Amino acid sequence: MSETLGPRESGVFIAKHSKHVSIHEEAIPKMVHDLYQAMEDGKLRKSSITEHETFPSKHLNQKEALNYVFFLDALNFCFWKPPGKPGWSVKFQDISYTGYFALCAAVARAYDEGIHIFDPVVYSKFTLSELNEMLKGENGVPAPMVEERLKCLQEVGTVLLTKFGGSFENCVLQAKNSAQALLKLVVENFPCFDDSCEYLGKRVSFHKRAQILVGDVWGLYYGDGISKFNDVDSITMFADYRVPQVLVAYGILEYSDELMGVLKKNEILQSGCEYEVEIRGCSIRAVDLVVQKIREFTKERNWKLYPDCNDISVDNYLWSYRREHVERMDATPFHKVISIYY
């Protein structure tokens, strides 16, 4: 088997050969100006999952917090609502949450109920009915892909116990402040995080969940202590199905008529198909170019350079931007894939 290209190299390769997705670099300056304004306003910055109201940050020590983050990211995939079916939402402390935050709410609810969700001894032995109950949404709507989520939990819990002493903290410590070392440890030891496929004779990778896990560890303690990564800028954006909508809305990405026709029909794409690979790969390359352009502009124009401006923080901002501008973003259909990878 050929060597697997890393996410950044995969983005370059896919963008160079893409038939259905184009990158328009001339549209990047508009986003750069908006992102810089967001930095000035404090909206684009390093952020921690502990800031969210569902995270029990006051009660967790470092080992527990890292295991909590790992548990969340083991389940962090595929939240979109199939057409014609009820959406999954979870109520926690009288607030209803959807998507990823519904997962956060369900896990927080389980924690409050005394379920030791950060202990792999416990969750590696979850049954399907137990996980269904833990993730149950409002009006009894089940979480999507519960069986796949159960398999992920059983896998990662078993690996943590057999290779890392039952603690994700040991995995992070073994990486020795290197984002790439942690990414490699996660991808090589936990198969459900190995987000890669074949494209034009090359093995390409996106590693959305593995990279978001690294990003969550980096943000957990704001890049200090165990959260410090000397090479954090080597992590790319997290290739999902929502950030591409923002890139299309800005005119940075453009889909072919053929691809747009498929998306407008709400067709479910096969994981690893040409359409999906090109959307995800070109998204990685586009955000990489955006970050490069921000750094060029700050140098050329003597703007203040914000150290937290990298692919991770830009991705987080664009993901949140999509949620805040739903009507504008939803004018562009997103690609739909039933997958454990994002």
Catalytic: which of 240, 288, 311, 315? Answer: 240
| 41 assigned to active site | no
SS3 of the chain: the string is CCCECCHHHHHHHHHHHCCCEEECHHHHHHHHHHHHHHHHCCCCCCCCHHHCCCCCHHHCCHHHHHHHHHHHHHCCCCCCCCCCCCCCEEEECCEEEEHHHHHHHHHHHHHHCCCCCCCHHHHCCCCHHHHHHHHCCHHHCCCCCHHHHHHHHHHHHHHHHHHCCCCHHHHHHHCCCCHHHHHHHHHHHCHHHCCEEEECCEEEECCHHHHHHHHHHHHHCCCCHHHCCCCHHHCCCCCCCCHHHHHHHCCCEEECHHHHHHHHCCCEECCCCHHHHHHHHHHHHHHHHHHHHHHHHHHHCCCCCCCCCCHHHHHHHHHHHHHHCHHHHCCCCCCEECCCCC
Would you please indicate which residues are annotated as catalytic (active-site) residues?
240
